[in-house]
A and B are shown apart, each in its own frame.
Chain A
Amino acid sequence: MSDDARKDTQEQADFRQYCRGWLADNRPPEPTVRLPLSPLEIMTTEQLCYLQDWQQSAYDAGLVGCDYPQEVGGGGCKDCQRVANEEMLRARTPFFPNVIGLGMAAPTVFYHGQEELKQNLLPRLFSGEDIWCQGFSEPGAGSDLANVQTFAERKGDKWVINGHKVWTSLAHFAEWMILLLRTDKSHKYDGLSYFVVPIRAALGDGVTVRPLIKMTGETGFNEVIFDNLEVDDSYRLDELGKGWQVAMTTLLHERGAGELQTPRAGGMKSKATHTTNTANLIELARNSVRDGEPASADPLLRDRIVQQVIREQGLALNQQRARVPALLDHPMRVQLQNKLLMTEISQDTAALALEIEGASASLYLGDDNAPVGGQWPMAYMNSYGMTIAAGTSEVQRNILGERVLGLAKSK
């Protein structure tokens, strides 16, 4: 019996067996295009279509949205999404393209949307037919998220939206956006409201999506400009002025600390899996040369590799300890460290990989001689996206210092 299966309930055990069977018979075909490292780097419609087909078939088979009620298009199961995720990881399937929809929009709409809205939106979100994006950050509202200035003005039972969102991943493919905006300029937090907005339908007519190019050369995220976009009041989530509380539901799920488990497929045997963990680092060191010998024989590199292994193991064991209340002094203390640790460890692992590669670290994706296809330099650059997005490492440290250690709130 696998480690994952040991603590299954009867429902989970049956479901696991079902998933395993289905995945054995329904592996998606090999892609004809090179897949990106993550859903946030999907650049072409060919890549998108391939991944959407896969999400659709997984949804039809009941592997997506398992724990949501059937009325909103879910599977109506109890704690089965985790099982589906584990089995999809095990089967090394491709990932789902609709990550923001599944991880952030779905739980937010589910907890804060009106019944009819849920029933209309969630099934096509789960199936991947509608891609979602997130309109939170703005040029003047990054770490200080509550400073968003995008404004919705009431006009009968409609709202007229004007403003400027940035770092909007997947906006160029998205049908829908979750949108944090301001409906009252006199209160910073209580002046915020939360909408879902059909941006694709309004392209060129109130909505402009402009791609931003990342330092890696990839696209994937965008600026979105709202110019007198009219939306219906029925697209508002929760009450007027409750936008900040709704946004907290989104962020909690984004950081993996939410109530609902995010549907997650993944572990495609793409080149992406050659980076990010230390087992690959050791392999890389064995295959790299330094002073005429394998880099894995260099005492300084060995020590730094081992330091990374220890941190990685510490993180994995943290996640295990987070479920043992007797070994926790504060219930959220270990969980709230996850994002910070995961992103900083990956960053340092990638940085070390470049040092192990030595001169070859100068070779990028387009070079035939680049070790591991030039993935490590790309992973290193992308790691800064991780330590910045979803609350920078500095913001994470503020959260930990204030919410766990109880230190005075910083400005």
Chain B
Amino acid sequence: MAKADNFGFGEEAALLKESARKFFTDNFPTDALHALVATDPSPERMSDCAWERDLWQQLVDLGWSMLAVPESAGGVGMPLVAVAGLVEELGRAAFPCPLLGTLNATYVLIACGDGGQAALEEIAAGQAATLAITNHQGDWNVSQTEVSCEDGKLSGSAWFVQDARKTDRLLVSARSPAGLSLYWVATDAPGVSIHADAILDLTRDQAHISFDAVEAEEVTNNALAALEQAMPAIWIILAADIVGAAEWQLQTTVEYASARQQFDHPLGFFQAVKHPLVDVMVQIDQSKSLVYGAACSVDMEPARALQDAHMAKASASETAAFASGRSIQCHGGIGFTWECFVHLYFKRQKHSQMLWGDAGWHRRRLADILIGEVA
């Protein structure tokens, strides 16, 4: 299928993005974020799981957590390009919530075919979910898991589980006699223990989860195929989140560079400040175009989805690092303090940068696709 000139980003998608921007600006300005998550500066603190459950519920009521769920399962069935627009705005607000995990689970469940139907219906009914598919080494290769399943019971541990303490359901990959399978598990099921990680990012929570003979419902016995099919969408929405957060970093830093005076001029007068900020903008725009281009590929030209999604996340990971570095540096001394808001985004971006593969991880795979594998 030929790709659309506008990435398939139509009126509905534009409206969704606009209302998301307004929702977060009205309900969750950055000072509210800071007041919510930046309560304890001590470096050894155990991570809180600070979030606005009521706001999340509003988001669910708006249908945003079930945007990607097909209409046949009671969802909205929006294309990825529209979902990316929403997630970009969520990233701009750095809103702590289980949306990304829920979307990730949605894309994997869709790839599971009939077996995913019941779980998708639960997401359409407002349940939040997240993926539990990573080993303790943080291997982003989807075939790795330290959970196994025997006689329908899960044992072992899953690591680097995102927003685990905000979710109702887990989509767990485990070795079973049939191979690698996926299971749908309630977070409060007997035998599930959530161990919170102490993480840098104040806007997310992360955990490792142990399973002790947990009764689980099998979704598919071909987890590899489902995960591989869903990964491009998962990388793209995280890249969209990064792009949105980077826009916040740019805008905030530009405002500071316009207000702050030194040597009788605003900082932005000096090209040593102006040019790096332009470079941040240029880098953001590259990533943004790659995100919407890749989302369009997933929606309309699946043969290109893998390669374009690698490009989007590789580029976005670089953008996360670059925009974060410049945002702190250009704020000068104040940018290095706890009271200034920029560290919240710096930390969120550091987390996003490595999550589901950093730039090098994606580029290495791209090289194999574009140049050919080395024997």
Are B285 and A320 in contact, with the CB atoms below 8 A? no
B274 contacts A282, C-beta separation under 8 Å: no
B366 within 8 A of A: yes
User: Do A307 and B7 touch across chains, with their CB atoms under 8 A apart?
Assistant: no
Q: Is B281 in contact with chain A by the CB < 8 A criterion? A: yes
CA of A66 to CA of B309, assembled, Å: 40
A-B contact count (CB 8 A): 145
Q: How far is the CB of A27 from chain B (nearest CB, A)?
A: 28
- Name the A residues within 8 Å of B274 (CB-CB): 397-398, 401-402, 405, 407, 410
User: A303–B364 contact, CB under 8 A?
Assistant: yes
CB distance from A406 to the nearest CB of B (A): 7
The answer to whether B247 touches A329 (Cβ under 8 A) is yes
Binary contact readout A378-411 vs B (1 if CB under 8 angstroms, 0 otherwise): 0000000000000000100110111011111110
A305 located at the interface, meaning its Cβ lies under 8 Å from any Cβ of chain B in the complex: yes
The answer, yes or no, to whether B35 is at the interface (CB within 8 Å) is no
Instruction: Contact check, B311 vs A324: say whether CB atoms are below 8 A apart.
Output: no
- Bound CA span A404–B254, Å: 11
Does any Cβ of A come within 8 Å of B370's Cβ?
yes
Per the 8 Å Cβ criterion, residues 1-58 of A in contact with B are: 3, 6-7
B277 in contact (CB, < 8 A) = yes
Chain-A contact segment, one of B66-74, B289-297, B331-339, B346-354: B289-297
Q: Render A310-334 as a binary contact track against B, CB cut-off 8 A, 1 for contact.
A: 1101110110110110110100011
CB distance from A339 to the nearest CB of B (A): 12
CB distance from A282 to the nearest CB of B (A): 6
Q: Does B258 contact A (CB under 8 A)?
A: yes
* Chain B interface bracket (under 10, 10 to 19, 20 to 34, 35 or more): 35 or more
Residue of B with least CB distance to A409: B269
- Name A307's closest neighbour in chain B (CB-CB): B363
Q: Is A297 an interface residue (CB 8 A)?
A: yes
The SS class assigned to the A binding surface is: helix
Indicate if the CB atoms of B371 and A285 lie closer than 8 Å.
Answer: yes
Given A314-B287, A327-B288, residue A401 in contact with residue B268 (CB < 8 A): yes
Beyond A407-B268, A407-B277, whether A327 also contacts B2 by CB under 8 A is: no
Q: Quick one: which of B233-278 are within 8 Å of A by CB?
A: 247, 250, 254, 257-258, 265-266, 268-271, 273-275, 277-278
Would A407 and B311 be within 8 Å (CB), given that A305-B371, A314-B290, A323-B6 are in contact?
no
Residue of B9, B266, B287, B375 near A327 (CB, 8 A) is: B9
A324 pairs with B6, CB closer than 8 A: yes
Interface size class of A (residues with CB under 8 A): 35 or more
Instruction: Please state if B288 and A321 are interface contacts (CB–CB under 8 Å).
Output: yes
A407 in contact with B257 (CB, 8 Å): yes
CB contact under 8 A between A405 and B281, given known A310-B311, A327-B292: yes
Instruction: Judge whether A306 is part of the interface by a CB distance below 8 angstroms.
Output: yes
- Which one of A315, A394, A397, A400 lies within 8 Å of B286 (CB-CB)? A315
Q: Which of B254, B287, B375 has the largest number of chain A CB atoms within 10 A?
A: B254
Docked CA distance A394–B276 (Å):
11
Q: 9 closest Cβ contacts across the A-B interface?
A: A407-B268, A314-B286, A317-B289, A326-B14, A408-B269, A401-B274, A302-B367, A317-B293, A397-B278
A residues adjacent to B (C-beta < 8 A): 3, 6-7, 282, 285-286, 296-297, 299, 302-303, 305-307, 309-311, 313-315, 317-318, 320-321, 323-324, 326-327, 329, 333-334, 337, 340-341, 394, 397-398, 400-402, 404-410
A–B Cβ pairs within 8 angstroms, 7 of them: A7-B5, A309-B366, A317-B289, A317-B292, A334-B285, A400-B282, A407-B269
